[in-house]
A and B are shown apart, each in its own frame.
Chain A
């Protein structure tokens, strides 16, 4: 079964750090681009970051640039999001999602169930 499972969410104080993980199974992880997408309570989807199948290029939304860092370990079938200098507005459910590129992008066709990050004192 193709699956993405996020972990690492929780309650953190403003200014703190958190590292999210996304474990992939059921497909060849190293062949897919990966994204982090978040959704604040009652709000819409917000794209956070992208990493290509080989680890470069990497892109970030302006709202997290300089504070968040995306990485992957293809040997461990895992995706990561290091989040530093967290703010209240980073409170959200964070999803990882895979994406295939073969001449063009095929869209984010598999998503995890999400992990909740709450930034509050």
Chain B
């Protein structure tokens, strides 16, 4: 089955920039989406269509795409950004897949 690979963890100091990568063969052909999930809570959509930000999501969250890798960037990280982050896309058959997830720790 199709897979999206993310680093298990990323650590960043407050005010610095966190970059979370997501790799998969379908990514050049399909849009990527990013979700933030805090412990005990449902996920929240933070990026759609590779680099679009839903209303209400802070501007410090941005997305980019290059070949088989998409990247979620959090600029000026704040303590409240500590969470798990998941990428997601679709394969050519229409089924969805989530990435393996990345735990962002704010030092």
Contacts and interface: CB of A to CB of B under 8 A. Distances in A.
Interface in B27-62: 31, 33, 35, 37, 42-45, 47-49, 54
A68 B99 CA distance: 22
Interface of A: 35, 37, 44-47, 50, 57, 59-62, 95, 97, 104-109, 111-114
A50 B94 contact: yes
Interface residues of B, number: 26
A111 B35 CA distance: 11
Nearest to A48: B96
Contacts, number: 66
B95 A45 contact: no
18 contacts: A44-B101, A45-B35, A47-B88, A47-B98, A50-B96, A62-B1, A97-B43, A104-B31, A104-B49, A105-B31, A105-B49, A105-B90, A108-B35, A108-B45, A108-B88, A109-B48, A109-B54, A111-B43
Interface centre among B31, B35, B42, B54 (most CB of A within 10 A): B42
A59 B97 contact: no
A88 B78 CA distance: 38
Contacts of B73: none
B95 A47 contact: yes
